[in-house]
Every structure is written in structure tokens, then in C-alpha cells.
Structure 1
Amino acid sequence: MELRIFTEPQQGATYDQLLAVARCTEDAGYGAFFRSDHYLKMGSVSGDPGPTDAWTTLAGLARDTSRIRLGTLMTAATFRLPGPLAITVAQVDQMSGGRVELGIGTGWYAEEHAAYGIPFPPLAERFDRLEEQLAVITGLWTTPRGEKFSYDGRYYPVTDSPALPKPVQAPRPPILIGGMGRKRTPQLTARYADEFNLPFASVADSAAQFERVRAACAEIGRDPAKLCWSNALVLCCGRDDAEVARRAEAIGRDPEELRANGMAGTPAEIVDKIGRYAEIGAQRIYLQVLDLADLDHIELVAAEVMPKI
């Protein structure tokens, strides 16, 4: 089981704060630093000093870290055109020496689209656009050098693109798709993804959705063992109940609710819960760290949980 750190900077974070978390993540031995791709806060927090752009952040971290992998959970397909996004991700992959992963989804947060003037079509159209985005991005990355790429899309037609620049990773950076959609999410995962991720889902719900994705893979003749399976859960770890309660209070959550729905408790409790996700096939856990100033939290899990899984 691999542990990765996952952050939500739209809740309020500067680049320097994210860099401190990323360097702590790297020094502590985690596999990756991921961040959300949002432009508006959620809940009652102030959101100050305002959002940071996900791919600008990852470009900086590409130069300011050396080992950890870097990616998004999840970039909204509504935010960027597929051609420019393919260029951006390829460039950040070059800047990092081949450490980038692209998590991408339909986009779901209507308020942030309204707040920043981003069109927000109905869900069916967003899935159609995501499918075309995936076709264009992967097509641009995998077109051999010296050849051109075209795509007859409804939303994103591409004509005679030189399909440059190329990412460092061949044939392309890993693509993550996730969510609880029962039909199109499994279909797109089977066709395009290297990893399937479920955010904030119970063991039972995860098992059911993993089976839907496995069935979608079988329908197109893809071996589901070629996919990586992962979950993302809120982290709230403490050496004892008092420390768990303190960390829960710091993020405005109830410790018992977090024990039920997140990755919370003492290191022993967290090792046990990770084991339950491993039993249904999860291979990675993204630990959502909400208090970015609490680097001891990250170090505690690295010291007390990571060696036991």
C-alpha cells in the first residue's frame, strides 16, 4: 500500500505553504503530493488569500522538489481546453523529470464556475466534453514525433496538430479518473485511465464501484489488473484520543464522524482501516491533509503508520 498526501489549497493557502507541505511529504517518504484543482473555497472558511492555480503550483513544485510524484485530484475538464492542457502537463512533466500525473474529471462545483466566469454545461454534456478531452490529450501525447494529430470532435476538433511538446514519460503521464458514476465513469476509466480513484467513499461503496469498473474493463477486453486502485480520505491521526480530538477541532470536524467516514484515529486504528481498504483491492491511499500548518501530522503518519503497511 502506498500513501500519498492530498491537499485542498482553495480553502486558503499560499505557494510557500504548499511548498512546505510538499517538502515535508518528500522528506517523510510518501509517494506523492497531490492537490485539488478548485478556484473557490468550500464551507465557512475565509479562503484567504485566495486560490492558487493547480498547474502553476505543480510547475513550481516540479523545480522545488526532487523525488515525489505530483498531480491533481481532479483537474476539471471545464477549466481548460484539451490542447493547452496537454501542453501544460507535458511541460510540467519535463520540468519535474517525469514525475507528473493528471487526474481529470467533469467538474462539479457550479459556484466556482459562476464566481470566475467559467461555462458550466449540464452533466451529460460535461461527460461528453471530458471524453473528448481524454481523446485529444492522449492523442497529442502519443502521436509519434514528426507525425500530426487530428480529431473529429464535436466540442474540440483538432486539425493537423504537430502534437508537441512531448512529456518525458512514455507513452504518456498516468491519467487518473474517479468518482461514483455508475456508467460513464467506469467506461471512461476502462478506456483511458491508469488509475481509478474514489474520494471519501466507504469500504462497501468502494468495493461496489471497483466492481463496476472491473466489469467495464471486461467489456472492452482490458485486464483490470492493469489499473491502479485508490481511495482518498480525510486524515486525522493522533497519538491518543486527545490529539485526535485536537486535530479534528482544528479542521472543524467531529472526531467520531471522522473515524466513521475518514482515515482517523490513532496510528493503530489507521493501520487497521487501511487494511480494510486493501482487502477490497485498494493499492494507494491519498490522505487529505486540511491543516497545512501541522507538518507534525504528516511526520507522525510516516513514522507510525507507513512502516506497518
Structure 2
Amino acid sequence: MDLRIFTEPQQGATYDTLLSVAKATEELNFDAFFRSDHYLRMGPSDGLPGPTDAWITLAGLARETRRIRLGTLMTAGTFRLPGVLAIQVAQVDQMSGGRVELGIGAGWYEEEHTAYGIPFPKEKFARLEEQLEIVTGLWATPVGQNFDFNGKYYRLKDSPALPKPAQSKVPVLIGGHGAKRTPQLAARFADEFNIPFGSVEDSAKQFARVREAAEVYGRKADDLVYSNALVACVGKDEAEIAKRAAAIGREVDDLKANGLAGSPAEVVDKIGRYAELGASRFYLQILDLDDLDHLELISSQVLSQLG
């Protein structure tokens, strides 16, 4: 069972704060450090000191960590041209010694596009499909051969398809709740399928859709890793749980119903309910990035029980 730390820096975090969390992630035996890819805060946060770029952050962390995997939930397809993204990810993978994973989605938060002058096209999902074909195609092209692509939205001709990642295959993560197109994309391109903030019941339905789609596309359903992303709020007792919930502006009852919240025993039990569906990896959304004691508690009393 993998536990990964998942951060939301658009809510307000410097690179140094993210570095502290990443180093704690490594020291406390979590599997990976992931971050969102957003340029505008959401909710009541003031967002100070301002946004940080996902792939610039990961490039820095690639040089300042040694073991943990590094990636995005999810890189917004609207932010980067696919050829540029393939170069960026391959370079960061080289910088990390082969520890990068690419979570990618269509992009959805229109306000951040407006705020920073980023185009927000209507046909985002169709573009994402072409982006996945291009990024994976560039990486898979043998050295010395060129890559061409003639799509509706993107065209590449005589691309040298360089640089190559350090890994022979950079894991690609696709996720979401869409009932048809999302499972199809996952079946075609993904090494891992992730459900963000979904209940046990919703996860069961969506995992089944992805498994069915994988079989349709000639893959074994178990070729994919199945994972969940859930907000974490763990405490030794009810007072500590309430304190951590208040620090992130959430209600304890809501967190227990919709996240991984409560005592370590409660959280281990809930992880087990998702694991029964086939989930083998969990992204713990940590919203208070200054509370490193939270990570230590999860490591010592939750991770230690999962084996």
C-alpha cells in the first residue's frame, strides 16, 4: 500500500515551504510528493505569496530529494503545449534520476485562465486526447527517428522527439468521475487511474468502468494501478482532530464522511474499505503545509499499520 503526500500550493505556499514538506515526505517513508497544477487560489485563502509553477517546483525538488516519486495531480492540459510538456517532464525525470510521474487532465478552472491570460478552449477533452498521443508518442519514438502527428488541434513534423526521460516509461496518471470518455482515455494511455475525492461507492462504480474499458482496449484490468485522492485530517484524539479541521476551515463530520479523517485507527479502517475495491495507492491531500507533525503522526500510526 502506497501513501503519497498531495499538496495544493495555489492556496498559499512558497517553494521553501514545499521543499520542507517534500523532505518530510522522504524522511517519513511516504512514497511520493505530488502537487496540484493551478495558478489561482480557491475558497477563502488569500493565496499569498502567490502561485508557483508545478514543473518548476518539481525540477527543484528533483535535485533536493533522493528517493520519493514526484508528480502532478493533475497537470492542466490547457497550460502547456504537448511538445513543450514532453520536454519539461523528460528533463525533470532526468534531473530526478527517473522518479517523475505525469498526472494530466483537461483543465477546468476557467477563472485562473482569465486571471493570467491563458486560453480556455471549449474542446478541452478532445485536445487532451491529442496531447496524450503526442506526449507518449514523443517519448516512445526510438532515438534517431522522427515523430510526426497530424491532428485537429496539434501538428508536429520531423520532430527529433528529444529529450528522452530517464525512465523507459514515465507513468501516466489519468483520473476523474466521467462515466465514458475518462475510462476510455485511461484504458488507452494510463498506467494509473485516480479518483479525486470520491466516496467508496463512487469509487467502486468508476473503477469498474475503467476495468471494463481496459478489457475493451485489449489490456488486462489489473495492468493499471487504481488510486484515490482524499483530504487527510488525522489526530491522536478528538481535540487534535478538531484543531486540524479548524486550521483548514473544514468541519470534522464532513471530513470523516468524505475524506481520511479521524483517529489513526479510523483512517486505517477507511483505507481498508477502499482497498477492498482494488485501490492500492492513496494521495493524502495535506492542506496545512506548516503542520509537519501531522505527517509524522500519519507516518508513525497509519503508514506503519499498512505494510
- TM over 0.5, shorter chain: yes
SS of 1:305 mapped into structure 2 = helix
Q: Structure 1 residue 219 and structure 2 residue 220: aligned?
A: no
Match of 1:270 among 267, 271, 277: 267
CA distance in 2, matches of 1:291, 1:307: 22
Letter paired with 2:294: H
CA distance in 1, matches of 2:303, 2:18: 22
CA distance in 2, matches of 1:200, 1:154: 33
Which residue of structure 1 aligns with residue 227 of structure 2? 230
Query: If the length of structure 2 is used for normalisation, what is the TM-score?
Result: 0.99
Structure 1 unpaired stretches of 5+ = none
1:251-270 equivalence runs, <5 A: 251-270=248-267
How far 1:214 moved relative to its partner? 0.8
Q: Structure 1 residue 288 and structure 2 residue 248: aligned?
A: no
Which residue of structure 1 aligns with residue 138 of structure 2? 140
CA distance in 1, matches of 2:172, 2:158: 24
Which residue of structure 1 aligns with residue 93 of structure 2? 93
CA distance in 1, matches of 2:304, 2:244: 22
CA distance in 2, matches of 1:109, 1:186: 21
Q: Structure 1 residue 189 and structure 2 residue 174: aligned?
A: no
Q: Structure 1 residue 199 and structure 2 residue 196: aligned?
A: yes
How far 1:221 moved relative to its partner? 1.3
Which residue of structure 2 aligns with residue 305 of structure 1? 302
SS of 2:102 mapped into structure 1 = strand
CA distance in 1, matches of 2:155, 2:129: 13
1:109-148 equivalence runs, <5 A: 109-122=109-122, 125-148=123-146
CA distance in 1, matches of 2:226, 2:151: 30
SS of 2:101 mapped into structure 1 = strand
How far 1:119 moved relative to its partner? 1.0
Deviation >6 Å, runs of 4+ = none
Aligned pairs, number: 306
**1:61-100: CA deviations, max 9, x gaps?**
0001000000000001000000000000000000000000
**1:94-123: CA deviations, max 9, x gaps?**
00000000000000101101111111122x
Which residue of structure 1 aligns with residue 106 of structure 2? 106
How far 1:264 moved relative to its partner? 0.1
Which residue of structure 1 aligns with residue 22 of structure 2? 22
Which residue of structure 2 aligns with residue 41 of structure 1? 41
CA distance in 2, matches of 1:303, 1:44: 31
Q: Considering only aligned residues, what root-mean-square deviation do their CA atoms show, in Å?
A: 0.5
How far 1:189 moved relative to its partner? 0.2
**1:189-246: CA deviations, max 9, x gaps?**
0000000000100000000000111111111111011100000000000000000000
**1:17-49: CA deviations, max 9, x gaps?**
000000000000000000000000000110000
SS of 1:217 mapped into structure 2 = helix
Match of 1:245 among 242, 245, 256: 242
SS of 1:86 mapped into structure 2 = helix
CA distance in 1, matches of 2:59, 2:215: 37
Identify which range, 212-221 or 189-198, moves more after superposition: 212-221
SS of 1:22 mapped into structure 2 = helix
1:133-172 equivalence runs, <5 A: 133-170=131-168, 172=169
How far 1:154 moved relative to its partner? 1.1
Letter paired with 2:220: D
Letter paired with 2:105: G
Structure 2 unpaired stretches of 5+ = none
CA distance in 1, matches of 2:99, 2:45: 32
SS of 1:80 mapped into structure 2 = coil
CA distance in 2, matches of 1:90, 1:46: 33
SS of 2:5 mapped into structure 1 = strand
Query: If the length of structure 1 is used for normalisation, what is the TM-score?
Result: 0.98
